[in-house]
Structures are given as C-alpha cells and as structure tokens.
Amino acid sequence: MTRTLSEENYLKAIFHLSRNSKEKVSITTLAASLENTAASVISMLRKLTAKELVDYDKQKGASLTRAGEKAAIDIVRKHRLWEVLLAEKLEFSWEEIHDIAEQLEHVHHPELADRLDKFLGFPQFDPHGHPIPDIKGNISQVSGKLLSDSTIGIELEVVGVKDSSSMFLNYLKQLDIKIGSKLMVEQIIEFDQSAIVKINNSSSISVSRKFLESILIISTGS
C-alpha cells in the first residue's frame, strides 16, 4: 500500500481544501489547486477511492476517509518538520523552504518524522506559523486570526501567513514583515476593500484585500 508522489499530493490537497471550507471538495476546486485538469482529477479520485483513502461519488465532492486523513496528516507533519530543519539548521529563509519541503515531504521512512521532531526539540509551529501535527496526528489550533478580520487602530502582531508561496513571502520580505512584526490597520478603503497598514510603527502602505486575507495576527495592544 505504498503511495505515489501524485497520490500523496492529492491527499494533501484534499486535506487542506476541506480544512478551510469544512466541506467536501469539488473536482473543479481540486483541479485548480493542483493545476491539473478536471479529467485528471476524476481518474485519480477513482484510484484513491479504490484504495479507500477517499470517499467519492456518494454526492458531489470528495473527502478523506479515516485512513486518507491519517496519510495526509503524516505528509503535513513531515512537510512542516522539514521546513523547521531547513530554516533553523540550514539557514534557509522563509520563502525558500516551502518548495524544498514539497519534495522532502515525500521521503518515506517509518521513523523519520519522529526523529526529526526530536532533533528539532518538538516544535509546535513551522516557520510560517502553521501548527505541526504531533506524533499522534493531533493538530493544535492555529494561533491568530486573519488580518482582514481585525479591528482598525489596534496594535497587532504577525504570527503567521496563510499563503506560503515564495511570491507572497518575497513581497513580505520587501515590506520587512516577518513573524513578530507589528502591524496596525489604519483605514479600510470601501471601494475595493484594500487597506492602509502601518508596519513596525513606521511607514504606512496600501495593501490589497488579498494581502489582508493572507496574514495571521493576534492583537497585542489597545
């Protein structure tokens, strides 16, 4: 019952997509997320259904079986632990680690994740602020809420990002925003839901709605 790289990527995609919306995942959504065609998605879902990793065809949409979720969490755990190693031990930066971890997450060995976990000192979050599933598969609550859901005029602290793409992270680097940075939403522009945000108590910049929905914060001030 060994899983191919493609199978693992599908399981992970379904896992992440059903986390957000809490719903069954449609073919179209999966296709967009994996940058594959709907036809390809359907044939893979059939394969995963046959392997009893995915429930499908019942209604519209796919969801993970217990076994599928277990497999997905295992991949996510490996992905995030490798990211910690890459960042903390090998000195890679925020925007470099994700793509390497995409490859490392598919390395198979029954004890690998646990050894990494121990070596790294059982980290709770990866460098993007995402929770690392523990050895039993329990995932702690994401700390923080979306910047788009925050109140105007309150001091906020960045605790994570929702988007780990190097495109987004390079943008943040340019703005000198990282985990721990201070933000304050000064104004929301009604016209397009963009905002003026003060960074680290110095410069104020204009950012898009999409930006606001990609940053996780906690409020730390008045």
Partner DNA sequence: AATAAAAATTAGCCATGTCTAATTTTTATC
Partner DNA sequence: GATAAAAATTAGACATGGCTAATTTTTATT
- How big is the site for its own copies, counted in residues (CB under 8 A)? 18
Q: Does 166 bind its own copies (CB under 8 A)?
A: no
What are the phi and psi torsion angles at 152 (to 5°)?
-70, 140
Q: Could you say which of 88, 96, 102, 134 contacts Mn ion (CB under 5 A)?
A: 102
Position 173: which residue type?
A: K
Residue environment code for 72-89, b if the CB has 16+ CB neighbours within 10 A, otherwise e? bbbbbbbbbbbbbbbbee
Strands 63-64, 54-55: pairing kind: antiparallel
DSSP-assigned letter for residue 188: E
| CB 214 within 8 Å of CB 197 | no
- Piece of 53-61, 117-125, 183-191, 206-214 that binds DNA (CB under 7 A): 53-61
Q: Which of 75/212 has CB closer to DNA?
A: 75
Cα–Cα distance between 218 and 115 in angstroms, integer? 32
Residues 86-105 that bind its own copies (CB under 8 A): 89-92, 96, 99-100, 103-104
Q: Could you say which of 32, 42, 67, 112 contacts its own copies (CB under 8 A)?
A: 112
Q: Which of 11/101 has CB closer to DNA?
A: 11
Q: Could you say which of 37, 165, 203, 204 contacts DNA (CB under 7 A)?
A: 37
Residues 149-178 that bind Mn ion (CB under 5 A): 164
| CB 152 within 8 Å of CB 188 | yes
Q: Could you say which of 19, 21, 28, 52 contacts DNA (CB under 7 A)?
A: 28
Q: Which of 9/18 has CB closer to DNA?
A: 9
Cα–Cα distance between 37 and 133 in angstroms, integer? 30
Encoded tokens for 141:
């609550």
Q: At 135, which helix (H) or strand (E)?
A: none
- Piece of 24-32, 75-83, 123-131, 186-194 that binds DNA (CB under 7 A): 24-32
Q: Does 214 bind Mn ion (CB under 5 A)?
A: no
Residue of minimal Cβ distance to Mn ion: 128
Q: Which residues on neighbouring strands pair with residue 205, listed in sequence order?
A: 197
Q: Which of 40/170 has CB closer to DNA?
A: 40
Residues in Cβ contact with 115 at an 8 Å cutoff, skipping those fewer than 6 apart: none
Q: Does 173 bind its own copies (CB under 8 A)?
A: no
Residues 54-73 that bind DNA (CB under 7 A): 57, 60-61
Contact residues toward DNA (CB under 7 A) are 4-7, 9, 26-28, 35-40, 42-44, 47, 57, 60-61
